[in-house]
Amino acid sequence: MSILTTPHIDVHRGGDRMKTRVAWLDSKHSFSFGEHYDPENTHHGLLLVNNEDIVAPDQGFDTHPHRDMEIVTWVLSGALVHQDSLGHSGVIYPGLAQRMSAGTGILHSEKNDAWRLAPEQGGAAERTEPVHFVQMWVVPDEPGLTPGYQQLEVDDELAGGGLVTVAAGLPRYRDRTAIAINSSHSALHVARMPGAGEGPTVHLPEAPYLHLFVARGEVELEGVGVLYEGDAVRLARSGGQRVIAKLPSEILVWEMHARLGAQ
């Protein structure tokens, strides 16, 4: 993997993302995905997928395969049921970090049918509302790893309003990360910011590659300007900029110290 040495900041507006829309799904893709392919927009750093999905009640993604990818799912509202070929089954909801390591191969489904589950499994008594989530894929350190799954509640940490590490392979975060990923050059940070100048000041980490995604709300990034819901910024050889919430907001920040490229 190689590292870019020239500072660079690239703003991508939410309305310019590639889109997949069917009766039950509204999906927006930050990078090439499925039938949407742009050779100039395949990844940033080690991040290959940043999909924002809204799935209708009683609908979802049927059982399908993945391989050699670290997949992190972050729910913004509603609840998503995960089931996989390793026997894991559970509900992902706001504040619950979830990681699936595809490794040598795994099958899983993701459905908006949490109301079907028993209460002790996190099920709701009534049919759920649409589920809104972001799914992100990063490249593992090596192919052929053993598939795995992990989830952990991080809601209390997010209540402080600062940047919280929720998934990481970077050694510097191993003592405080919620979930571990098999990518030793990557970490995902999340902040739920109260807005209107409230809460702690959030600064981006410094790294060769950063990806800032505004999942909810409206923020101002120092040196860039206002970013709206769905906007993303790709930074290289940068970091340290202050992020100020104009409205109650939620941001997802990938910190990466390598990129796809020559070994």
Q: What was the pLDDT predicted at 242?
A: 96
Q: Residue ranges per domain, the chain?
A: 11-256
Q: Is the pTM of this model over 0.75?
A: yes
pLDDT band at 174 (very low <50, low <70, confident <90, very high): confident
CA-based nearest residue to 67, from 169, 142, 10: 142
Each residue of 27-58: pLDDT tens digit? 999 999 999 999 999 999 999 999 999 999 98
The residue with greater pLDDT, 129 or 10, is 10
CA-based nearest residue to 73, from 102, 103, 52: 52
Each residue of 150-166: pLDDT tens digit? 999 999 999 999 999 99
Each residue of 243-260: pLDDT tens digit? 999 999 999 999 999 999
CB 26 within 8 A of CB 53: yes
Each residue of 101-114: pLDDT tens digit? 999 999 989 999 86
DSSP 209-263: EEEEEEEESEEEETTTEEEETT-EEEEEEE---EEEESSSEEEEEEEES-BSS--
Report strand pairing: 179-180 vs 164-168.
parallel
CB 224 within 8 A of CB 241: yes
Q: What was the pLDDT predicted at 199?
A: 77
The arithmetic mean of pLDDT across residues 173-177, rounded, is: 79
Q: What was the pLDDT predicted at 85?
A: 93
What are the residues facing 133 on neighbouring strands?
53, 75
Q: What was the pLDDT predicted at 175?
A: 79
The hierarchical CATH code for the domain 11-256 is 2.60.120.10
Q: Kindly report which listed range (77-81, 195-199, 202-206, 246-250) carries the lowest average pLDDT score.
A: 195-199
Side by side, the strands of the sheet bearing 249-256 are 8-12, 232-238, 207-216, 249-256, 186-193, 164-168, 179-180
Q: What was the pLDDT predicted at 3?
A: 47
Terminus-to-terminus CA distance in the chain, angstroms?
4
In degrees, rounded to 5, the angle at the alpha carbon of residue 49 between the alpha carbons of residues 228 and 153 is 80
Q: What was the pLDDT predicted at 125?
A: 52
CB 95 within 8 A of CB 155: yes
Q: What was the pLDDT predicted at 221?
A: 96
Each residue of 202-243: pLDDT tens digit? 999 999 999 999 999 999 999 999 999 999 999 999 999 999
Residue 130 has pLDDT above 50, yes or no: yes
